[in-house]
Amino acid sequence: MTDKLGSDIEDYQIKKEPYYLASGNEIELFEAAYSSRLPVMLKGPTGCGKTRFVEHMAYKLNRPLITIACHEDLFASDLIGRYLLKNDETVWEDGPLTRAVRMGAICYLDEVVEARKDTTVVIHPLTDNRRTLAIDKKGEVVPAHPDFVLVISYNPGYQSVLKDLKQSTRQRFTAMNFDYPEPEKEAEIVSQEGKIDLETAGRLVSLAEKIRNIREHGLTEGASTRLLIYAARLIGAGVSVYDSCISAVCLPLTDDARLQETLKDLINDIF
């Protein structure tokens, strides 16, 4: 069992340091929360760097990271585990949350509001002084490894009556706000991650800022840093700046023909 667990830890260890440029004191805050084994909630728009931040912190703290992308068909058994038939024998297989609890990993539930409400309830005992996970099907209560910590993220911009975190869940976490970086830092990130010159990266950021300012005219979400990096990589691969911006920024943001024309005008104005 020890050898298997050790092997699992290696599988989830981040070997190479992920690039991350801090916008404030988020690194120090996370380190303090982790040292006290406090669960952490990251709040911010799509593509602003929440997942990259968690990867960076897992590397910095030298802890394995297990990431779970939440969705509406995510059941508790998908997190905890289930009995499977193998070689005519019924055997138990731990789910990703149970593996994280046993090995002392950082468990990251990405976009947690997308998960079923009855599924998120299973994390509650892991976020208070009990630090346990109940596996009802086995009649087992698993105490969390001393190094285990739970991290969740969600996008407040998509909150609604149907998709929001219950107060009973929210108040179990320390919280950190994320947003798009300041223009100079965002340009540096796009240049570094997209492997293009800083001047072109700066123009992409200018485009994103203008798009974010017209959200009230029909866009549900502004252009994310992630999309700017995609555009930069297309440019680096030899695609024209205009076509790169259309493919990586304009078309992913909206299907509305009028809005697309507005975005195309912005692209032409800047480039």
Domain extents for the chain? 2-177, 183-270
Residue corresponding to tokens 């303090």: 32
Which residues are bridge partners to 65 per DSSP?
106
Q: Note the pLDDT of residue 158.
A: 61
Q: How far apart are CA 1 and CA 245, in angstroms?
A: 51
Q: Please, what is the angle between helix 225-236 and helix 198-212, to 10°?
A: 140
Are 177 and 154 spatial neighbours (Cβ–Cβ below 8 Å)?
no
What is the 3-state composition of the chain as percent helix, strand, coil, each rounded to the nearest 5?
Answer: 50, 15, 35
The share of the chain scoring above pLDDT 90, in percent, equals 77
CA distance 115 to 77: 12
Mean pLDDT computed over 42-50? 93
For residue 118, the model assigns a pLDDT of 79
pLDDT of residue 2 exceeding 50, the answer is: no
The mean predicted confidence, pLDDT, of the chain is 91
Angle made by CA atoms 106, 108, 111, in degrees to the nearest 5: 170
Instruction: Tell me the per-residue pLDDT of 35-44, one tens digit each, with 9 for 90 and over.
Output: 999 999 999 9
Residue 168: band (very low, low, confident or very high) from pLDDT cuts 50, 70, 90: confident
* pLDDT band for position 64 (cuts 50, 70, 90): very high
Q: Check pLDDT > 90 for residue 6.
A: no
Phi-psi region of 153 (alpha: psi -120 to 50; beta: other; left: phi over 0): beta
Q: What is the distance between the terminal CA atoms of the chain, rounded to a whole angstrom? A: 59
Phi, psi values for residue 203, rounded to 5°:
-70, -35
Identify the DSSP state of 181.
P
* Nearest-angstrom CA–CA distance, 146 and 194: 38
Parallel/antiparallel/unpaired status of strands 65-69 and 81-86: unpaired
Higher pLDDT, 180 or 216: 180
What pLDDT, on a 0 to 100 scale, did the predictor assign at position 8?
79
pLDDT tens, residue by residue, 200-215: 999 999 999 999 988 6
**163 Cβ contact partners less than 8 Å away, ≥ 6 residues apart:** 113, 114
User: Can you tell me the mean pLDDT for 248-258?
Assistant: 93
Q: What is the pTM of this model?
A: 0.90
Residue pointed to by tokens 């030899």: 238
Token reading at 191: 């240049």
pLDDT band at 119 (very low <50, low <70, confident <90, very high): confident
Domain 2-177 coded CATH 3.30.1380.10: no
Q: Where are the beta strands (DSSP E) in the chain?
A: 40-43, 65-69, 81-86, 89-94, 106-110, 132-135, 140-143, 149-154, 174-177
The candidate with the shortest Cα–Cα distance to 206, out of 161, 267, 142, is: 267
User: 101: pLDDT confidence band, cut at 50, 70 and 90?
Assistant: very high
pLDDT band at 14 (very low <50, low <70, confident <90, very high): very high
Tell me the mean pLDDT in the region 221-225.
91
